Amino acid sequence: MKIELVFIPSPGIGHMRSTTAMAKLLIDSDDRVSVTLIVIPSQHSGNVSSSNISSVYTESKSRLHYCHLSTGDRPTEQTFISYIDSRKPLVRAIVSELASEVSTRSDSSRLAGIVVDMFCTSMIDIADEFGLPAYTFYTSNTSYLGLQFHVQSLYDEKKLDVSELKDSDAEFDVPTLTRPFPVKCLPYVMLSKEWFPYVLNRARSLRDTKGILVNSVAEVEPEAVKFFSGENMNTPPVYAVGPIIDFKTDSKDSDDEKSSEILRWLDEQPSNSVVFLCFGSMGGFSEVQAREIAVALERSGHRFLWSLRQASPVAGCPPGEFKNLEEILPEGFLDRTVEIGKIISWAPQVAVLENPAIGAFVTHCGWNSILESLWFGVPMAAWPIYAEQQFNAFHMVEELGLAAEIRKDYRRDFFSGTGEIVTAVEIVTAEEIERGIKCAMEQDSKLRKRVKEVRDKLHLALMDGGSSNAALRKFVQDVVENIP
């Protein structure tokens, strides 16, 4: 029997990339599986990035298909949640058409379920309408999934609202961590009175699915895997199938000339000599903060590749480029560092991290970026910005010892009740940045040794007999058994 799954990723490019790579891994692992991936365009921009992804992840024996929703009317004043909900009629129509088409095939195919992104849980309603099992692809880590469930349990069972602890120095135990977790490292949505109900509802929706695919590795998060494998758990099965890394589309987000120039420069640098600074698709800074980074880089004495962009004044919009670096950076900085540094806007991150010249990675702690850094054995310096990145920074620095700290509780979230950016009043100082860079760049350190050990575990997990490979097979087996 052949089975068809529908994947619905979040419009964010990081989610699109990892979901598409997940779908490709799934169909490559089992000839019975086909995937239709429904692409929701970004609320604030065109659909170029999504098109680039589908152009490199082409159909595999006609078992990977893309359905791009029309851009249509996309009011930017909508919240992300209401925007996703507004796409439901379009998604429903595609699922209806697919269900009819699959039912007429002559190869005993079955529409086996819908796999929704962790931010698209409202689409579970569509699965229910068609009598299909719903699953979740969780693009963050298993430990953070545990935090979501724990926060919901605290509220539902003990009436503890963690948003009331905002601005406190309190700590509390999270069952997927081995040490107390500080409230100040909770994501903004959990500390916001307005958004906290959404957090609770999303966790409840996750509990109602048939299973959760997590982009993580059992050996990296043993405490979390132990928690979810315990008896009497009121959660669906959790499958740690990572690391799911998109190796293909990285170079498609910009022209080959820019990418080649960056990589040529890296090829000219000594091994482990360059610190790479890159802060994700939404990572930009003010002029004041950019100057502090420049001072830190010069003081550190290390070679650097710096993806520098300016924070957008509009909530949810990608950062832009500084028009004149000489005006915003310290006087003479560009001249003094011309031989050892390179400032860029866009970066082919995977290709950069793979280069032997990279000695450390200053990162915003997005989960995709963390996995990419660990895959290539590159130590990190943690500088979270928004979403669950503060949790990830704590996880990497304190829990797992895989990153140095710049400031793990720094935050600048991209939404609030008014739709304006929530800006951080504090500036991360040059001293903090320099200290984190030097720690991450230290050769023969315990940190570097630990990262190399985890790199090997990640590679083994995806091989035949590895934990992630086994979890993926178990997921397919359970999907077949859950077919209505």
- Can you give the C-alpha Rg of the chain in angstroms? 22
**Residue 276 CB partners (closer than 8 Å, separation 6+):** 304, 305, 307, 347, 352, 353, 358, 360, 361, 362, 378
Helix, coil or strand: residue 403: strand
Q: Where are the alpha helices (DSSP H) in 376-484?
A: 389-394, 430-441, 446-461, 467-482
Q: Of these residues, 28, 68, 73, 117, which one is catalytic?
A: 117
Helix, coil or strand: residue 114: strand
Q: How far apart are CA 299 and CA 275, in angstroms?
A: 13
Give the DSSP letter string of 183-211: GGGS-HHHH-TTTHHHHHHHHHHHHTSS-
The residue assigned the tokens 């935090």 is 147
Nearest CA to 61 out of 38, 37, 28 is that of 28
Longest pairwise C-alpha distance within the chain: 71
117 is catalytic: yes
Nearest CA to 18 out of 482, 375, 278 is that of 375
Nearest CA to 424 out of 409, 403, 405, 404 is that of 409
Q: Where are the alpha helices (DSSP H) in 79-179?
A: 80-86, 88-103, 124-129, 142-158
Q: How far apart are CA 30 and CA 469, in angstroms?
A: 11
C-beta atoms surrounding 460 within 10 Å: 15
The residue assigned the tokens 């979501």 is 148
Q: Token pair for residue 386?
A: 């928004």
459 is catalytic: no
Helix, coil or strand: residue 447: helix
Phi, psi of 163 (to 5 degrees): -65, -20
Angle at which helices 446-461 and 367-375 cross, to 10°: 100
Element (H, E) at 8: strand 3-8
Q: Are 356 and 378 in contact (CB under 8 A)?
A: no
Residues carrying an active site annotation: 15, 117
